[in-house]
Amino acid sequence: MSHPNEVLIRNAFNASMRGDLVPLRSMIDPKISWHVAGHGPLSGDVNGFDAVLAWGAQLFQRTGGSWHEEILEIIANDDTAFMRSKYRARRGERSIEDQSVNVFRIREGKIVECWVFFGDQYAFDEFWS
């Protein structure tokens, strides 16, 4: 049996990939803090549900819809979850394929904070520059 926070992360990920905002809003705190590692144009802190949604939309917009991400594993306990994923995308002549780890803080059944780390941070920053 999966931990409830593993199910929460999987459901939130799937809703975000579908662009299904109704269930996504019920899983994410409106005041979420999203921290993206690196020094590129998509790095830094993003605060609030709508801002995080806009950040995620950039992944698709800036790649002409080629952004693809899949979950490799999720490990969760009562207040934290770790998701390892594989992603790939193209931007013009550039392409990237790598893994990332998201660390989620969960409170009262909602995602309240996330830290995003990339396997090859330099490649991720360069891809978006």
The pTM (predicted TM-score) of the whole model is 0.94
CA distances from 68 to 1, 26, 88 (A): 28, 24, 5
Compute the distance between CA of residue 40 and CA of residue 129 in angstroms, rounded to an integer: 6
Cα(108)–Cα(123) distance, integer angstroms: 36
Cα separation, 53 vs 22, whole angstroms: 12
Q: Is pLDDT at 37 greater than 90 in this prediction?
A: yes
pLDDT of residue 102: 98
Q: Which two tokens stand for residue 30?
A: 């409106």
pLDDT at 29: 98
Q: What are the residue boundaries of the structural domains of the chain, listed by start?
A: 4-128
- Kindly tell me if the per-residue pLDDT of 15 is higher than 90: yes
Average pLDDT over residues 26-34: 97
Residue type (1 letter), 79: D
pLDDT value at 1 more than 90:
no
Q: Which amino acid is at 96?
A: I
User: What is the tens place of the pLDDT at every residue in 45-89?
Assistant: 999 999 999 999 999 999 999 999 999 999 999 999 999 999 999
Under DSSP, is residue 3 helix (H, G, I), strand (E, B) or coil?
coil
Gap between the Cα atoms of 76 and 64, Å rounded: 33
Question: Are the C-beta atoms of 58 and 34 separated by less than 8 Å?
Answer: no
Farthest CA pair distance, the chain: 44
Query: What residue type is 107 in one-letter code?
Result: R
pLDDT in tens, 83-118: 999 999 999 999 999 999 999 999 999 999 999 999
CATH 3.40.50.720 fits 4-128, yes or no: no
